[in-house]
A and B are shown apart, each in its own frame.
Chain A
């Protein structure tokens, strides 16, 4: 069954808190990883790996660089989990 946007956001916020120490309530869809949440490219890799474990969706490096905002990741995971 496909996850809702809210479920993905909640899961993602949990991951970001764990890896980058950003409080979950600051992780909102419109935030950019680099500028708003101060998350660098290496942390993005760790987040992608954790997202794969949690959502079962692989985010390769060449896709990862295009995911600029929290909403981008939500959309990517949502799309991929539906097609999977």
Chain B
């Protein structure tokens, strides 16, 4: 009897480059205080945001994704023809059909890649990065474009001072390719050597549908609702073990981390997580201060901006953790490209 043949991919995957995009429209806390009952001081002390970027009326999730992905692609030195899978993590697609990934691929001139959208809310980028790494290792793709892009502004009630101060728009992207055996790139390791520059460590992930009612949009005509206090309690108590698991699985001690990039949900959550994982050497991403909470875009956006500003270096070990509605969460250690 004929057996179904299997294919083998690279022994490890890595991020080749990041790219980010922020809309040009800067909205300050004072701008919001002009329309809802809030103050700059209140917003800064509760969530740590000073300003955020909002997309223009006609600017779509795909528009933002294309720009961020184009930058990541340029940074990787690859051409569109090299990409054979596009994953867009988003919970705010312009429409449900067609998916955003195929549109983004066409506009970037990537011919006939596998293309799908992935919704794990604010954990979306880390989920997509895990899927991309697995695809490269399994041999179902060689180079993957991973994008987190959101236009949360269209799902926010601009009269609700609890949520409108938090959410924002933007996109971040990464190009993922082989790092270990089977890689044509420099630094590729020998076959079977799992220790060679894995670049993307094992994902520690999960979900808890018991908390589905803590962050939600009830139907297509509704806005984001969030139980801030319950989410804050969860984020500051349940997530550091996940982050530490990702470190343990990658064989990286938290004290060796040079960078910590949690989802940019709230500066107080970020600071609490940083304290609890115990990574004294790590530069902690605080992109939320000027970017707001951009859900699945926040981690790659923060990383691309830290790289641009020269705050982190190639080879640095970075711990990423995404978490949000579902609730869903995912963490992994990566090597900064």
Contact B229 A46 (CB under 8 A): no
Contact B46 A42 (CB under 8 A): yes
A45 to B237, CA, bound (A): 10
With an 8 A cutoff between CB atoms, is B272 at the interface?
yes
B217-247 residues with Cβ-Cβ distance < 8 A to A are 228-230, 232-233, 236-237
Contact A46 B230 (CB under 8 A): no
With an 8 A cutoff between CB atoms, is A37 at the interface?
no
A59 to B39, CA, bound (A): 30
Contact A46 B45 (CB under 8 A): no
A63 to B289, CA, bound (A): 32
Minimum C-beta distance from A64 to chain B (A): 8
With an 8 A cutoff between CB atoms, is A7 at the interface?
no
Query: For chain B, what secondary structure do more than half of its interface residues adopt (helix, strand, loop), or is it mixed?
Result: helix
Return the contact of A49 from the options B45, B230, B233 (Cβ within 8 A): B233
Contact B229 A45 (CB under 8 A): yes
Minimum C-beta distance from B269 to chain A (A): 9
- CB closest chain-B residue, reference A52: B237
Contact B237 A42 (CB under 8 A): no
Contact A45 B236 (CB under 8 A): yes
Give the residues in chain B near A5, CB-CB below 8 Å.
none
With an 8 A cutoff between CB atoms, is B161 at the interface?
no
Contact B45 A40 (CB under 8 A): yes
Take A40-B45, A40-B46, A42-B268 as given contacts and tell me if A61 and B236 are in contact as well, using a CB distance cutoff of 8 Å.
no
Contact A49 B237 (CB under 8 A): yes
Contact B46 A46 (CB under 8 A): no
Give the residues in chain A near B45, CB-CB below 8 Å.
40
Highest count of chain B CB atoms <10 Å: which of A41, A45, A49, A64:
A45
A42 to B230, CA, bound (A): 10
Give the residues in chain B near A40, CB-CB below 8 Å.
45-46
- CB closest chain-A residue, reference B272: A46
Minimum C-beta distance from B335 to chain A (A): 33
Highest count of chain B CB atoms <10 Å: which of A41, A42, A49, A61:
A42
Take A40-B45, A40-B46, A42-B268 as given contacts and tell me if A49 and B236 are in contact as well, using a CB distance cutoff of 8 Å.
yes
Minimum C-beta distance from B32 to chain A (A): 18
B residues within 8 Å of A by Cβ? 45-46, 228-230, 232-233, 236-237, 268, 272
Further pairs besides A41-B229, A46-B272: 12, Cβ < 8 Å: A40-B45, A41-B228, A42-B229, A42-B232, A45-B232, A45-B233, A46-B236, A48-B233, A49-B236, A61-B229, A61-B230, A61-B233
Q: Can you identify 7 A-B contacts, CB atoms within 8 angstroms?
A: A42-B268, A45-B229, A45-B232, A45-B233, A46-B236, A49-B237, A61-B233
